[in-house]
Amino acid sequence: MRDKYVCIVCGKKFPKGQGVVLVVKGRKYPFHSKGCAVRFFRRLIEELDPNALSDAFERVRKSFEDELRAKEERNVKKIA
């Protein structure tokens, strides 16, 4: 029998290998769909300290910008 998870947002059951399961400090947070994960994270963001949240957003934004810049540089055609 396959392991089953229960979504912490909507309560739906889903089999292991489907949905989204995050593990934070050894604790599992199962979501049956990306929509439920987004709902969870929206509420999580509302609960966090705005100053810490702003700093984290800037770090993540910069990380994605750096990745995009590196990808663009790799994709530039080089004429030899």
How many whole angstroms separate alpha carbon 79 and alpha carbon 75? 12
66, part of any domain: yes
**pTM for this structure?**
0.73
Domain membership of residue 19 as a residue range: 4-75
Tokens encoding 9: 């947002």
Write down the pLDDT at residue 47.
Answer: 93
Structural domain total, the chain: 1
Structural domain includes residue 80: no
Tokens 């999580």 correspond to: 44
How many residues appear in the chain? 80
Residue 80, pLDDT score: 66
Instruction: Specify the 3-state DSSP secondary structure of 79.
Output: coil
β-bridge mates for residue 14, sequence order: 5
pLDDT tens for the chain, 80 residues: list them: 578 999 999 999 999 999 999 999 999 999 999 999 999 999 999 999 998 899 999 999 999 999 999 999 888 777 76
